[in-house]
């Protein structure tokens, strides 16, 4: 398989929902070799713009790409045999109006940009600017998670051509490992996560990355006010305490040492107030429980109390308002 420049065929892509994030999957398994090449070209161009690529074997090119929208980010998992991709010139395509955060999940790769290079082992990550020429070489089958981050989301932080997780200081290594572990868990669960958690996951990713970049530059995270970081912390707090019926904005403000007014201002531009987001998160967990649990043994009231509701009637009214069906009707449809 020689070098190729990819072309775009948007009509090939169909979103699919399984009560989860909006995702699209491109799979070359089982296709004739020529069709495999063509389909993979179309997939990579659709998401990354024109690239040159070279496979390292003449056999089947069995590859899969899944792209999911999570808040302001796009998350892509890539499974592919040994190959190389490169951009040999600066690009101005709108599809490059983002940074790429690459996590090596399986296999090994080497990324080169300008005069820098870095060997990626499983668990390693690298942040780079895809507008600049770069090469990624994978001499063996790989699995990658690629996070496309809109440029303006990191506008307050100067991002060079290539950032990696190399570090000598123990505190930096610990922070980088937290980011790596979070991304790895995210990649493993991507296809099964509910759509409602897309925005919180986006904020958490941005918050962890921003703190890693600041620490890499020798700055204390507190020196630069980052609303993304604070929103991520609030959402992490909410999801860690969803089962507590006493979870309120007042309690969050107290435990995070800020005012209620500040918390409300953080979420002012979003579709729902912070109070509403707490209840929606609880409802989504309940819906997931009804959708995936054993229908013959599920107790609707027990499920509601487990996720912080203290009134079965209140839970049923809110569930009906949000999902246009009662919990019992939702469960009956599963059975029948």
User: Do 265 and 231 meet the contact criterion of CB atoms below 8 Å apart?
Assistant: no
Per domain, the residue ranges of the chain are 4-240, 281-335
Confidence (pLDDT) at 223: 45
Confidence (pLDDT) at 291: 86
Looking from the CA of 276 toward its CB, the CA atoms found within 13 Å total 10
Confidence (pLDDT) at 16: 41
CATH code given to domain 4-240: 2.60.120.10
Confidence (pLDDT) at 94: 60
Rounded distance, CA 23 to CA 61, Å?
A: 22
CA distances from 61 to 31, 86, 235, 314 (A): 9, 18, 41, 54
4-240 and 281-335 in the same fold: no
Confidence (pLDDT) at 113: 92
247-250 LR contacts (CB < 8 Å, sep 24+): 247/278, 247/308, 248/275, 248/278, 249/274, 249/275, 249/278
Looking from the CA of 261 toward its CB, the CA atoms found within 13 Å total 0
- Compute the Cα dihedral for 41, 46, 47, 52 and give only its sign: positive
Confidence (pLDDT) at 8: 29
CATH architecture, domain defined by 281-335: Orthogonal Bundle (1.10)
Per-residue pLDDT of the chain (336 residues; tens, 9 = 90+): 333 332 223 333 344 444 567 899 999 998 998 888 888 888 988 999 888 888 888 889 999 999 999 888 999 999 999 999 998 877 666 656 899 999 999 999 999 998 889 999 999 999 999 988 999 999 999 999 999 999 888 866 767 667 888 777 777 788 888 889 889 988 988 877 877 778 778 888 888 888 888 777 665 544 444 576 678 778 878 888 889 999 999 999 988 888 898 899 888 888 889 999 999 999 998 998 898 877 678 899 999 999 999 999 999 999 999 999 999 999 888 766
Report DSSP state, residue 44.
Answer: H
């Amino acid at each position: 398989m020689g070098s190729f420049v990819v072309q775009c065929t948007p009509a090939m892509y169909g979103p699919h929902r399984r009560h989860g994030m909006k995702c699209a999957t491109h799979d070359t398994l089982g296709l004739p070799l020529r069709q495999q090449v063509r389909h993979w070209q179309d997939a990579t161009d659709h998401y990354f713009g024109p690239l040159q690529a070279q496979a390292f074997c003449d056999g089947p090119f069995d590859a899969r790409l899944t792209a999911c929208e999570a808040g302001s980010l796009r998350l892509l998992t890539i499974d592919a045999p040994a190959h190389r991709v490169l951009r040999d010139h600066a690009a101005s395509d709108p599809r490059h109006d983002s940074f790429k955060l690459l996590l090596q999940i399986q296999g090994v790769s080497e990324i080169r940009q300008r005069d820098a290079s870095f060997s990626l082992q499983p668990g390693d990550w690298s942040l780079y600017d895809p507008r600049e020429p770069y090469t990624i070489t994978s001499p063996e089958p790989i699995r990658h998670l690629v996070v496309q981050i809109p440029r303006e989301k990191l506008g307050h932080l100067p991002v060079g051509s290539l950032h990696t997780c190399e570090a000598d200081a123990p505190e930096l290594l610990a922070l980088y490992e937290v980011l790596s572990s979070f991304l790895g868990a995210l990649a493993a669960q991507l296809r099964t996560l509910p759509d409602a958690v897309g925005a919180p996951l986006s904020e958490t990713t941005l918050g962890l990355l921003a703190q890693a970049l600041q620490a890499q530059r020798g700055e204390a995270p507190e020196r630069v006010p980052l609303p993304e970081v604070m929103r991520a912390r609030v959402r992490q707090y909410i999801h860690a305490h969803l089962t507590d019926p006493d979870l309120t904005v007042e309690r969050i403000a107290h435990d995070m040492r800020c005012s209620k007014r500040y918390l409300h201002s953080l979420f002012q531009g979003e579709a729902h107030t912070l109070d509403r987001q707490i209840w929606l998160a609880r409802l989504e967990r309940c819906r997931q429980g009804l959708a995936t649990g054993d229908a013959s043994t599920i107790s609707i009231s027990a499920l509601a109390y487990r996720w912080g509701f203290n009134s079965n009637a209140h839970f049923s009214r809110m569930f009906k308002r949000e999902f246009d069906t009662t919990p019992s009707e939702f469960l009956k449809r599963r059975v029948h």
